[in-house]
Amino acid sequence: MRIATYNVNGIGARLPRLLEWLDETKTDIVCLQELKAPDERFPEAEIKALGYNAVWHGQKSWNGVAILARGLDIELRRKGLPNDPDDSHSRYIEADVAGLIVGGLYLPNGNPVPGPKFDYKLAWFEALLAHAHTLFETERPTVLAGDWNVIPTAGKDDVFSASRMAEDALMQPESRAAFARLAFAGWTDALRAIHPAGPLYTFWDYTMNAWARDAGFRIDHLMLSPAAADRLIDAGVDKDYRGREKASDHAPTWIRIR
């Protein structure tokens, strides 16, 4: 089973690229972020035509998350986090699919630092960590997948230039410490479990010729509970899709489990 996270950066503008990727890769379960569309503008018919069922949590112009399942039943568990510090933002969705709990998330960016947006990022992260603990205690195979807006380390394997990103919310010690707490609590960073070393960038900005220079960083993650990590057999980034015409600035990031 192939499971992916994909920040589409506007499902209306990027729908041809999304449908192309779905058709070519036949990914079984997909967590989408940054739909940037209200619920009624979600392209359910186009996605269903490719054999996918879907649940979504939209928002006009900003945020928005969805979970797609190819030929599989999908049962919505919740929209939004418990104790979300601002539930007007559509940033989390959770479903039961094929015996898995799948949580799709879009963590706040947090810039500029310091400021209220960074405070909100950390507060949202705390709510996510608390909910992750609840999910962990179920002992069910669980995948938390999405755009975490956190670069886990300062090494070249995770970021093209730590010095260039040093003042960014994605690289702040508080952001990285919150992400690390998941690993300490027993969650597995799936990409690094399969590829412990080497660049695995998932995002390249539209500016500064970042794609051509491969000036990217890793912020799209799939974190696995022990029961899911035991079934992990492969992981990777569909990097080539970032280079296609009118592509998202993120590349689809995936795992394969038994």
* pLDDT at site 219: 98
| Amino acid in position 172 | Q
Can you point out the beta strands (E) in the chain?
2-7, 29-33, 52-57, 65-70, 74-79, 92-97, 100-106, 142-147, 188-189, 203-204, 216-217, 220-224, 232-237, 253-257
* pLDDT at site 86: 94
| pTM beyond 0.85 | yes
Of 39, 35, 30, which is closest to residue 8 (Cα–Cα)? 35
Q: How confident is the model at residue 188 (pLDDT cuts 50, 70, 90)?
A: very high
| Chain segment 236-253, per-residue pLDDT in tens | 999 999 999 999 999 999
Of 85, 72, 59, 101, which is closest to residue 223 (Cα–Cα)? 101
Taking the chain, what is the end-to-end CA distance rounded to the nearest angstrom? 6
- Measure the CA angle with vertex 237, ends 231 and 241; round to 5°: 140
| Chain segment 160-176, per-residue pLDDT in tens | 999 999 999 999 999 99
| Chain segment 137-155, per-residue pLDDT in tens | 999 999 999 999 999 999 9
| Chain segment 40-74, per-residue pLDDT in tens | 999 999 999 999 999 999 999 999 999 999 999 99
Listed in sequence order, the residues at least 6 apart from 114 whose beta carbon sits closer than 8 Å to its beta carbon are none
Give the DSSP letter of residue 215: -
| Chain segment 110-141, per-residue pLDDT in tens | 999 999 999 999 999 999 999 999 999 999 99
* pLDDT at site 174: 98
226 Cα distance to chain centroid: 19
What are the helix (H) ranges across 78-146? 116-137
